[in-house]
Structure formats: C-alpha cells, structure tokens
Amino acid sequence: MIEKPPYTITEKAADYLAKIVETVTRLEFGTGFKRDIKLHRENRVRTIHSSLAIEGNSLSLGEVSAVIEGKVVAGKQEEIKEVKNAYEAYDKIMTFDPYVISDFLKAHDLMTQGLVKESGRFRSGDVGVFDGNKPVHIGARPQFVPQLMEELFGWAKESELHPVLKSAILHYEIETIHPFADGNGRMGRLWQTLLLAKWNTIFAWIPMESVLYQNRPQYYQAIEDAREANDSAVFIEFTLSAILDIIGIQAKRQLDDPVNDPVNDPAKALLTCIKMNPTYTYQQYADKLGKSNATIKRLVQKLKTEGLIVRVGSDKTGHWEIK
C-alpha cells in the first residue's frame, strides 16, 4: 500500500478551493480568456520570468520576452539559457503525464539542459538549502530519491483528492524531497502548473508563478512552516490563495476590457458582463461597458429574444440567468 504524504485539508483551504472552482468557471465560460492568444503569450512570458526570478535570474520581464522572441539580449549567457530552456519546457507542458517519472525527468532535462551535469537525472549526491552556513533544509539521501518519487507519483495517481489540492501537495513534496542537484524549485512550480492544466487547460496560460514571485518571503515561509509541522497544510493554503489571486486578476482584466472579445460584439460583451454580474441594473451595465442606458436595454432585449438570458424575480430585486 502506498503511503500518502502528510497533509491536512483545512477549512480555509476548502474555502479557497470552492472559490477557485467558481472563478475558473467564470473565467472559462464568462470571458474571452480561452481565445485571447495575445494574453496567453504575455502570461507565458510572465510565468517564465517569475519562476526564474525566484531562483535569482536577473533578466527583466522585457529581456525575457526579447530572448523568447529570438532577439539579442546583453545578459549573462547562463541566464539567457535558463530562459530558453524554461520556454521549451512550458511549451511542451501538455505533453507530459504528471504521474509518470520518465516525463518528470524529461521535463527536468528540458529545463536544465546545458546548465547542470545531472540534467534529466535524479541527483547522485546530497544536497541542501543554506542560509549562509546554516542549513535550512537537507534533501532526502540520494539512494532514497527514486523510491520516494515513485511513491509520491503513485499516491497522486491513485488519490481521489481534487487536482487543485493535489497539485499543491506535489509542489511541496518535490521541494521537500529535492530530487535534483539543481532546478527543484522550477520543477515544483512547473509540476503544479501541469496538474492544474490537466484539470483545466486554461491553467497552461495562467501565470501563477508571478504571484509566488511577488510574495517570495511568504512563499519561503510557507515551505519552512510546513516542514516544521511535518504537514503541508500551510503550504496548501498559501498556494491556493496565490491561485485564487491570479485567476481573479485574469477574470477582472477580461471583464474590465470587453473589447478583448475577439468578435468585438457589444451583445457578446454585455453577455459576458451579465455572467459576471447578474444583479446589475441597466445603468450599471451601461457604465461598465461605456454604453448608453438605451443601448443596454436594446441589447438586453436582443439577448432575451435569442433565448440567451432570462430574468428571474422582479426588476428591482431579481437577477439575470444565462440560458
């Protein structure tokens, strides 16, 4: 029997999960996010910049974008190589099976090729995280790493835990086992993104790493607190909070800029606004979309005639429902 990692699902984590599911549904079906290719590209650049910056890469967001576009950048060659490698790994993210060790190693090879000696292989020596000369964390002994990773992936594959929760636990356990000589942080974040993207493909284009980068002290502290407690509960809460933050930002950006809808249809823009704000008044819809009250009433009538929306309750206290 495969032993499960030590974790507790707190009430706060459960609340975050419910809100994530709700917000993802709105982002997927209530906005044009899935079709916004330009935003997908921008988010991929943010993902790569943030994940590498957490590890000390000094290239700016603009420089990372330039490297990905194939432009010449005056920077350290190792840091430029990190960007190119990370781009290739994230570009192939949906081809990986999150529960297959060989795919995990293949992704590490893409991420660290030409940067570390044991690229694509579990480490052969001891490794640790240090604060000066003080050891902060010592990874598992190298002879136990393959078995620990097999057990972790075996548990994850068999577990019926929600993928969002499971992704946070795998992220934490990868950091704890520290299976590689280098690149453990990058792989932990990549693998959490992979599990999320296998649950809902929009996560392949959600820059969760940018929130982790902006909150680095809390990110490190969550890992440390979880290790001290021998329970990943606090790390689960922190990463779910980060996920909720970033998908909320993405949803707000889409709603605040209705012209992002590729069809640029005012009726579609109103439909998106109704999905996100079903209790708004005509005037509130008008203010949000920059239209006149009369135009909103005309568009509402059009959507009603087409059977796309229906009014539930009174004009004052009711709400709109999408058919």
User: 209 φ, ψ to 5°?
Assistant: -60, -25
Closest CA to 34 of 204, 198, 199, 190: 204
C-alpha count within 13 angstroms, C-beta hemisphere, residue 207: 21
The Cα 275–Cα 211 span in angstroms is 26
Q: Is 178 a catalytic residue?
A: yes
The Cα 142–Cα 164 span in angstroms is 29
The Cα 192–Cα 169 span in angstroms is 9
Measured from the Cβ of residue 61, the count of other Cβ atoms closer than 10 Å reads 15
Catalytic residue among 49, 108, 171, 178: 178
The Cα 46–Cα 59 span in angstroms is 12
- CB 265 within 8 Å of CB 35: no
The Cα 126–Cα 133 span in angstroms is 16
- CB 33 within 8 Å of CB 276: no
Q: Say which DSSP state 258 is in.
A: G
The Cα 130–Cα 81 span in angstroms is 25
Residues 6 or more apart in contact with residue 91 via CB below 8 angstroms: none
What's the distance, CA 164 to chain centroid?
10
Q: Which residues are catalytic?
A: 178
